[in-house]
Structure 1
Amino acid sequence: MTLILVRHPQPLVAPGICYGSTDLAVAPEQLEQTLATLRLPSDLPIYSSPLRRCAELAARLTPTPHYDARLAEMHFGDWEMQPWDAIPRAAIDAWAADTVNYRPGGGESVLQMAQRISAFHTALQGQSAIVICHAGAIRLLTACHAGLAPAEMARQAAQSAHQIPYGSTLTL
């Protein structure tokens, strides 16, 4: 099973904003730039998060993308679309103290996201595919593909540094 993971192009959002599962568009030039750099096989099915920043790319790559809500980025509850600097320090500290189970802004925990990503991976049943998704989903899919259970996926993803550029690919 080969998975080609593609991070969406940079969305239209100001720097320093927590946007998680907020459905943001991509600037047309960002979409075109990403399309120009991608070199993907034409014989693999394409799965995509239904969020516009992924869906717009998927729709340009194939007329028949498979949209799957399990691939959406983590939901940050009340933190969505708030400047990171405006989120109370005590809330950030609470998340840092329990990165696996804490639900930022009352939204979704990393463990909950890991469970849905694991369910998506299992549903592929060993099928190779291109997956257009988000940095969080890429970190979790990488851990899942390595054979980790959801709790370990969540721990590993929460501890890994965010170094996945917009529009980049990772082959597993």
Structure 2
Amino acid sequence: MKLILVRHPQPLVAPGICYGSTDLEVAPAELEHTLAALRLLPDLPIYSSPLRRCAQLAARLSGNAIYDARLAEMHFGAWEMQAWDAIPRAEIDAWAADMVHYRPGGGESVFQMAGRIADFYDTLQSDTIIICHAGAMRLLRARHAGLPPAEMALQAAQTAHQIPYGSTLTL
């Protein structure tokens, strides 16, 4: 099964802000730029995170996109919309000590997110385009490689995030 993963365009948020599952808009110019870069995508079913930064792109690519909450970015609880610099160092250190199971800001752990991403992946039956977030992309890549949720979470937590906005990854 071929999957084409697309990261959403850059959202309207100041640099250095933890925004995870916060539902942010995308600047119209960013949306148009990403659409232009995706003009050669094949005609496949499109699944998308329901968060606006993904859903806006999905709606422009297809009138039949399917929005699935399991594709949303990780929920960072009380850390959402806080400057990374303002989050207490002890909390960041606690997360670094247990990247898989720690729930940043009391939100969601990477393991919990891996479970919902695995559940989504396991329902797929054909080649598909998936518009989502960097975290979801790393977890989908791990699931596509056959890893169970605990190993997906560990691999995603240990993989440096280097997925540009609006980029694609074909599995």
Task: Provide TM-score, normalisation by structure 2.
Answer: 0.99
RMSD: 0.4
Q: 2:132 corresponds to which residue?
A: 133
Shift of 1:87: 0.1
**Gaps (5+ residues) in structure 2?**
none
Task: Quote the Cα distance in structure 1 between the aligned partners of 2:32 and 2:127.
Answer: 25
Q: 1:40 corresponds to which residue?
A: 41
Q: 1:156 corresponds to which residue?
A: 155
Task: Quote the Cα distance in structure 2 between the aligned partners of 1:66 and 1:19.
Answer: 23
Task: Quote the Cα distance in structure 1 between the aligned partners of 2:8 and 2:36.
Answer: 13
SS state of the match for residue 123, structure 1? coil
Q: 2:4 corresponds to which residue?
A: 4
SS state of the match for residue 169, structure 2? strand
- The residue type paired with residue 155 of structure 1 is L
Q: Deviations over 1:3-29 (max 9, x none)?
A: 000000000000000000000000000
Task: Quote the Cα distance in structure 1 between the aligned partners of 2:64 and 2:129.
Answer: 13
| Aligned residue pair count | 170
Task: Provide TM-score, normalisation by structure 1.
Answer: 0.98
Q: How does 1:107-122 map to 2 (within 5 A)?
A: 107-122=107-122
- The residue type paired with residue 152 of structure 2 is M
Task: Quote the Cα distance in structure 1 between the aligned partners of 2:161 and 2:116.
Answer: 20
Task: Quote the Cα distance in structure 2 between the aligned partners of 1:163 and 1:102.
Answer: 22
SS state of the match for residue 93, structure 1? helix
Shift of 1:128: 1.1
Deviating above 3 A after TM superposition, structure 1's stretches of 4 or more consecutive aligned residues are none
Q: How does 1:18-37 map to 2 (within 5 A)?
A: 18-37=18-37
Q: Deviations over 1:128-149 (max 9, x none)?
A: 1000000000000000000000
Shift of 1:157: 0.2
Q: 2:141 corresponds to which residue?
A: 142
Task: Quote the Cα distance in structure 1 between the aligned partners of 2:92 and 2:159.
Answer: 17
